[in-house]
Amino acid sequence: MNNQQNTRSKGNILVVDDALINLRLLSRALEEHGYNVQTATNGPHALEAVQAELPDLILLDIMMPEMDGYTVCARLKEDACTRDIPVIFISALDETLDKVKAFTVGGVDYISRPFQAQEMLARVETHLALREMQRRLQDQNRQLEQEIVERKRVEEALALARDQALEASRLKSQLLSNVSHDLRSPLGNILGHTEMLQAGVHGPLSDRQQEVTTRIIANAQQLLGFINNLLGQAQLEAGRVMLNVIPFAPTELLKTTQGTIDMLAQTRGLELICDVEPDIPDTLYGDPYWLRQILANLVGNAIKFTEEGTVRMHIYRADQDHWAIQVSDTGCGIPEEARSYIFDAFRQVDGTAIRKQQAGSGLGLSIVKQLTALMQGKVTLTSQVGKGSTFTVLLPLKPIQEGTT
Amino acid sequence: MTGETSSKKPLAFIIEDEQEQAEIFSRALQMAEFETEVIRNGNAALERLAAAVPTLVVLDLHLPYVSGADILQSIRADARLADTRVILATADPQMAEMLQEKSDLVLIKPVSFYQLRDLAARLRPSDTVG
């Protein structure tokens, strides 16, 4: 490469020799071949010259008064700034011992005097090329080290961001859980007091008063369903939903759900039908708490979207290995395009054109889907716009393994 | 509620630290024809359980001093209380599921007044019903 750069200097060479005649010979030969040459006639001057301007290569006489070439070389090798400058020794001495010493103190090559200019130039060129390659390798190494440092920093930043996100998520779930808990207690009391009132504990009620208590209960139940969903979502997100699979009676499942939904259906003027097919065993296996959540959400959803007619809860045997909870309504139905996202969590449903009166938390069906998946079941939807919708939750008859998260 | 009629009724303990809850539970059980006694903390509950044999206990799990789980444990360990029915009432479904097998019924709060009334009526010993 150097050959192609004839117009420019091929490199700065420092020539150190106590004999002026030698200095002149070397300088001329080097300058004729395109090198910049600096000279020094003794060791201390050579060291000063190197400090003033770093040469690319040094030709260094060994036998000099005051400070010999070995010492000069050793000094250069001690300093991190000058350590990498290639040093070629020049001497009339031609003893093996001295050559070995020249390499030991850090020289890269050795030229014996009298020398041939071509040989000297070839060696200089070779070592300059080597030095250049070494420099590039060092640069690449530095760059790689820099990249590694950078990457480590990015990884640490990512890890920190991830930890913070996890912590924020944990706090959100915790907050949801706490808030839900704190909402449930007073709401439970509202329900209890109203039911007591309705049951006549504090004296008989007029028909109008009866109706109002029904409305209060329906509203409280609706609010409670919403809170249960918040709590359920928090638990699902935190991976804390552990299914406790126990034997239960399907009729009881329907009855308790009906108990919490009945008043809501009444206030909306809807008929609520519950039936269990006779081929369903008296005892099924599952987690009644979370099954109630599924059922309450499906029925709550059906009531919300049904202006008039009936909402039906139906439990039947789907096939050899499955039973099914089916909730159907005579409501407005679900348009084709909505069916793909209707089970997604509330975020995705945001911004879609749902009528205000029907907008809820958007958590219900997402929770149904997540819980059904936990129970190793499947939820499907058939719907006809203007006629109604049917949600079917298919569940295994055989008890699934407990403690699935 | 005179002493004469109450003496024939089966006894129910409501072990619940929250006053309003206790009142609602108590009324539900009274409607199911139980004589009710409200106990507001775990220590008092253990004392009363050592002295009396209730037919039914409605037990909250989160109690001061002695936890509901410990009380349930001690009821089940006491031969005198072998026939005592226990309804757990808790807001914590996880906890409820853990103690499901040791209790006769688990109700997740909020507990419906009607539900408790009807369930309690079913748990009445048959001899006092007829």
Name the closest residue on chain A to residue B91, using Cα atoms. A181
Query: Residue B24, Cβ neighbours under 10 Å: how many?
Result: 26
The one-letter code for the residue type at A179 is V
Residue of B96, B100, B112 lying closest to A191 (CB–CB)? B112
What ipTM was estimated for this complex?
Answer: 0.84
> How far from B16 is each of A49, A177, B33, CA to CA, in Å?
94, 22, 19
A195·B114 Cβ contact <8 A: yes
The answer to whether the Cβ–Cβ distance between B113 and A244 falls below 8 Å is no
Question: For each of chain B's 130 residues, which pLDDT tens digit applies?
Answer: 444 444 579 999 999 998 999 999 999 999 999 999 999 989 999 999 999 999 999 999 888 888 888 999 999 999 999 999 999 988 776 677 777 778 888 888 888 898 899 889 988 876 544 3
Tokens of B90: 């808790």
Per-residue pLDDT at A401: 58
Predicted pLDDT at A348: 40
Determine the residue of chain A that is closest to B22 in CA distance. Answer: A189
- Shortest CA distance from B107: residue in chain A: A289
Partners of A289 on chain B (C-beta within 8 Å) are 93, 96-97, 108
Contact B112 A287 (CB under 8 A): no
Q: pLDDT tens digits, residue range A140-179?
A: 999 999 999 999 999 999 999 999 998 988 888 778 777 7
Tell me what pLDDT residue A305 has.
85
Identify the contact set of chain B against chain A, taking CB-CB distances under 8 A.
Answer: 18, 20-21, 24, 27-28, 31, 91, 93-94, 96-98, 100, 108-115, 117
Q: ∠A135-A141-A144 over CA atoms, to 5°?
A: 145
Interface test with A, best of B112, B117, B118 (most A CBs within 10 A): B112
Q: Which stretches of chain A sit within 8 Å of chain B by CB?
A: 181, 184-185, 187-189, 191-193, 195-196, 199, 201, 224, 240, 242, 244, 246, 256, 259-260, 287, 289
Cβ separation B97–A189 shorter than 8 A? no
**Which residues in chain A come in under a pLDDT of 50?**
1-6, 347-354, 356-357, 402-405
Beta carbons of A185 and B96 less than 8 Å apart: no
Domains assigned to chain B: 9-122 (3.40.50.2300)
d(CA B130, CA B127): 6
CATH superfamily of A2-115: Response regulator (3.40.50.2300)
- Distance, in Å, from the CA atom of A17 to the CA atom of A46, rounded to the nearest integer, reads 9
Interior angle at CA A86, CA A82 and CA A91, nearest 5: 115
Which residues from B are below 8 Å from A242, CB to CB? 94, 97
- Cis status of the peptide bond prior to B125, with omega within 30 of 0: no
Residue B6: per-residue pLDDT: 45
Domain locations in chain A as residue ranges: 2-115, 241-396
Please tell me which of the candidates A184, A196, A242 has its beta carbon nearest to residue B110. A184
Pairing mode, strands A12-16 and A36-40: parallel
Residue A13 burial by Cβ neighbours in a 10 Å radius (0-12, 13-18, 19+): buried
**CATH of A241-396 among 3.40.50.150, 3.40.50.620, 3.40.630.10, 3.30.565.10:** 3.30.565.10
Residue pair A370/A236 in contact by the 8 Å Cβ criterion: yes
Closest CA of chain B from A181, distance in Å: 7
Q: What are phi and psi of A264, to 5 degrees?
A: -65, -45
Binary contact (B112, A181; C-beta < 8 A): no
Q: Under an 8 A CB cutoff, do A287 and B94 touch? A: no
CB A325 within 8 A of CB A393: yes
- Supply the DSSP string of B71-125, one letter for each residue: HHHHHHH-GGGTT-EEEEEES-HHHHHHTGGGSSEEEESSPPHHHHHHHHHHHS-
Measured in angstroms, the CA of B65 and the nearest CA of chain A are apart by: 21
Name beta bridge partners: A316: A324
Per-residue model confidence (pLDDT) at position A400: 65
pLDDT attached to residue B128: 46
CA distance B20 to chain A (A): 7
Residue in chain A closest to B106 (alpha carbons) equals A289
The DSSP H or E segment spanning A380 is strand A378-384
Nearest CA-CA partner of A58 in A44, A32, A40, A33: A40
User: Are the Cβ atoms of A256 and B115 closer than 8 angstroms?
Assistant: yes
Cβ-contact A330, A308 below 8 angstroms? yes
Query: What whole-number distance in Å separates Cα of residue A405 and Cα of residue A401?
Result: 10
